[in-house]
Amino acid sequence: MLSNVPTAVAKMARNVVIHHPNSYNIQVYRKTVTRPQSNEGTLADGVRMLNTDDEDEFDYEWIGNGYALPADTFSPASVADHGDAVIGAQPTEMRFLIEPEEEAEHPEFFTPRRTDVFYILLGDPETGAKLAFEVVDVEAMSSIPPYAPRYVCNRRDDLHRAATA
């Protein structure tokens, strides 16, 4: 009976993220190394690679579409004199609940990982602005597997895309 609880929590979280009015449509990209491989299966001019953090030759490959719901805790901030905006410091670290568009059985299903980059789509996916975030950590929101992950993300101002006409 208790083993069903985490699965139910994961299903509930997915439903909430996908249908929440404050969720964003996102496109998720994964860093892939573009340096050629040698005959031994290692990357040329290097030892076996543990992760892509230190690679100079890489590209981002689209892995799927999904939804992201901001999951930061509330922190109070001052209100502007006109009463129409909150004046707060821009956070350097944000937390999101991220769900792929497709179900687990579908070929386009993915699980976000550290160093994945996702774009929050503002408007039309082709011409609208896109804000970039990089997943820097994954937090467990419960201690019972399968865990309900919350993704710690940093803004990637160097990857933002402006809207086009």
pLDDT along the chain (165 residues), means of 10: 76 92 95 70 56 72 95 77 70 88 90 95 91 94 79 93 87
Would you state the pLDDT for residue 49? 57
Would you state the pLDDT for residue 11? 86
The Cα 54–Cα 139 span in angstroms is 23
Are the CB atoms for 28 and 72 separated by under 8 Å?
no
The number of helix segments (H) and strand segments (E) in the chain equals 1, 8
The Cα 50–Cα 148 span in angstroms is 26
The Cα 70–Cα 82 span in angstroms is 26
Would you state the pLDDT for residue 42? 55
**Residue 21 DSSP code:** T
Would you state the pLDDT for residue 13? 87
For residue 37, how many C-alpha atoms fall within 13 Å in the half-sphere facing its CB? 8
Instruction: List the structure tokens of 57.
Output: 């030759």
Would you state the pLDDT for residue 109? 92
